[in-house]
Amino acid sequence: MEHTWELLGEAAATAIRYRETLPGRPVAGPVDPAAILAAFGGALPSEPCPPGQVLEELRRAAEGGLVATAGPRFFGFVTGGSLPSATAADILAVGWDQCAGLTVASPAAAAAEQCAGEWLKDLLGLPSSASVGFVIGGQSANTVGLAAARHHLCAEAGWDVERDGLAGAPPVRVVASAERHATIDRSLRLLGFGTAVVEEVPAGLNGAIDTVALAEVLARGGPAIVCLQAGNVNTGACDDLRTACSLVRDHSGWSHVDGAFGLWAAASPRTAALVDGIELADSWATDGHKWLNVPYDSGFAFCARPDVHTAAVSYTAPYLVAEGGTMGPADHTLESSRRARGFAVWAALRELGRDGVAELVDRCCLLARRFAAALADGGAEIGNDVVLNQVLVRFGDDARTDRVVDGVQREGTCWLGGTTWRGRRYLRVSVSNWSTTESDVDRSAEAILRVAASASRG
Ligand SMILES: *Cc1c(COP(=O)(O)O)cnc(C)c1O
């Protein structure tokens, strides 16, 4: 086992054996974090250890603390799984160990990202002239998009924010829906805006921005950065992007769309209407590791103005620049050195093709509606209009709903989390895994209803 051949072979075999257990194993169970930590050991050993033994120790230590998020009955957060080709491609990316930030350091990684980036723009209905950065996830993509927005509005006001910072800059308005994702606030913090700057716009019943209220807020002052959303984390609702982006354009502002999972609605003719007008925005954030089902970490920051994108996030050093004066992929991300994310993205898109991505989106939406119908039949209240892949479920009152969440997590057939929506507690279902079947949904709905029946007695 000391030879690379055997070691990496054994690592792949371990991963395969684990993945084969995914459809059958309990999704999660009660764990004792202290016991898992203890399995990883105490103080740093002084003595080296043969790699084969390291692998075996790691396998044993991790075993009890793994959660089957990659499996077909994990409905928590919005996770997605990992398609076979994308998983295999990521194993290659690790084996090849390419430094993907610099074109000169890996022409292959840069080309894979360039090709996959074109495919993504085509699939998601974004302008073909947009730039794209292969970032770590939605948080990073939002930060890049808002950095571009910051650059643009400051430059329009005659201010060089990259050189002079925000202190003393002309005020930049930031407008966002009350239903924005929490990562928008973190991006605003990191970019020096702070969160208090946000002028909040109310959302409608299902969580999409109220465009009449948006128009009123925009009319109150000068150009603004406007944070829009495709895919509310609770309800799946998408903002009316055509109306909202047109309003922002009329006010010479910048519209950024956080579409971490909801942007994928654009990939299917059945759901594309939800994000109609998407091409009118100035920047977009979405994830690969959610609905596209590529392994973590993978997200995309798109910008309608490539020059603004690079002005906001690129940097140079005499030893880094390649021919043409640019680094390549690192000109569009916050990371400098990083792994070659593009291989897995390219592989997922190549495996599915345009039709396969549309079918994946449709299937998840269909399964979400099946879930909602089965639970409603069993007496649950569905708290949202199931327009995409998200379902909110309530059993009687807050306390009982929380007992059901807790009970489901312990029972192990499936996993989902709780949330607060409009002041009331709900179970939150997200269907975003490529391998989830009707029977997974039926089994899970039955398990939830069983837990709910006993929770009513608790
Ligand atoms: C998941 C999510 C994010 C954050 O994405 P990460 O990949 O976790 O960084 C942002 N916005 C929305 C709407 C999300 O669902």
Say which residues have a Cβ less than 8 Å from residue 20's Cβ, sequence separation at least 6. none
Band the pLDDT of 323: cuts 50, 70, 90: low
pLDDT at residue 148 tops 80: yes
Residue 376 CB neighbour total at 10 angstroms: 14
Residue 53 lies in a domain: no
- Find out whether the beta carbon of 22 lies less than 6 Å from any atom of ligand 1: no
Residues 338-392 pLDDT 10s:
999 999 999 999 999 999 999 999 999 999 999 999 999 999 999 999 999 999 9
Is there a contact between 334 and 135 (Cβ–Cβ < 8 Å)? yes
Residue 407 lies in a domain: no
Residue 344 lies in a domain: yes
Task: Kindly give the number of the ligand 1 atom that is closest to the alpha carbon of 261.
Answer: 15
Residue 222 lies in a domain: yes
Residue 436 lies in a domain: no
Q: Tell me the residue range of the domain where 255 lies.
A: 88-348
State how far the Cα of 445 lies from the Cα of 439, in Å rounded to an integer: 10
pLDDT above 70 as % of the chain: 98
- Find out whether the beta carbon of 72 lies less than 6 Å from any atom of ligand 1: no
The residues with which 415 forms a beta bridge, in sequence order, are: 74
Q: Which residue from 285, 289, 278 is spatially nearest to 309, judged by alpha carbons? A: 285
Q: Which residue from 260, 268, 315 is spatially nearest to 285, judged by alpha carbons? A: 260
Show the tokens assigned to 51: 């790699």
Instruction: Give the torsion sign (CA, 388, 394, 399, 405).
Output: negative
pLDDT at residue 1 tops 60: no
Q: What SS3 class is residue 100?
A: coil
Band the pLDDT of 316: cuts 50, 70, 90: confident
Residues 350-364 pLDDT 10s:
999 999 999 999 999
Q: Which residue from 314, 302, 431, 415 is spatially nearest to 366, judged by alpha carbons? A: 431
Band the pLDDT of 310: cuts 50, 70, 90: very high
- Find out whether the beta carbon of 239 lies less than 6 Å from any atom of ligand 1: no
Lowest model confidence (mean pLDDT) among 24-28, 129-133, 264-268, 450-454: 24-28
pLDDT (0 to 100) of residue 326:
77
pLDDT (0 to 100) of residue 345:
98
pLDDT at residue 196 tops 60: yes
- How is residue 86 annotated by DSSP? H
Band the pLDDT of 318: cuts 50, 70, 90: confident
Q: How far is CA 264 from CA 287, 354, 358, 361, 453, in A?
A: 9, 12, 9, 7, 36
Residue 372 lies in a domain: no
pLDDT (0 to 100) of residue 320:
77
Q: Say which residue the tokens 């509310």 belong to.
A: 232
CATH assignment of the domain containing 319:
3.40.640.10
Per-residue pLDDT averaged across 219-233, rounded?
Answer: 97
Residue 419 lies in a domain: no
pLDDT (0 to 100) of residue 322:
65
- Find out whether the beta carbon of 138 lies less than 6 Å from any atom of ligand 1: yes
Task: Kindly give the number of the ligand 1 atom that is closest to the alpha carbon of 142.
Answer: 10
pLDDT at residue 4 tops 90: no
Show the tokens assigned to 280: 């009118």
Residue 304 lies in a domain: yes
Q: Which residue from 313, 247, 308 is spatially nearest to 280, judged by alpha carbons? A: 247
Give me the number of domains the chain comprises. 1
Using omega within 30 degrees of 0 as the cis cutoff, is the peptide bond preceding 297 cis? yes
Band the pLDDT of 199: cuts 50, 70, 90: very high
pLDDT (0 to 100) of residue 20:
96
Distance 224 CA to ligand 1 centre (A): 23
Task: Kindly give the number of the ligand 1 atom that is closest to the alpha carbon of 229.
Answer: 13
State how far the Cα of 14 lies from the Cα of 11, in Å rounded to an integer: 5
- Find out whether the beta carbon of 228 lies less than 6 Å from any atom of ligand 1: no
Average model confidence (pLDDT) across the chain? 96
pLDDT at residue 324 tops 60: yes
- Find out whether the beta carbon of 184 lies less than 6 Å from any atom of ligand 1: no
Single-letter code of the amino acid located at 439: S
- Beta strands (DSSP E) in 19-170 are 131-135
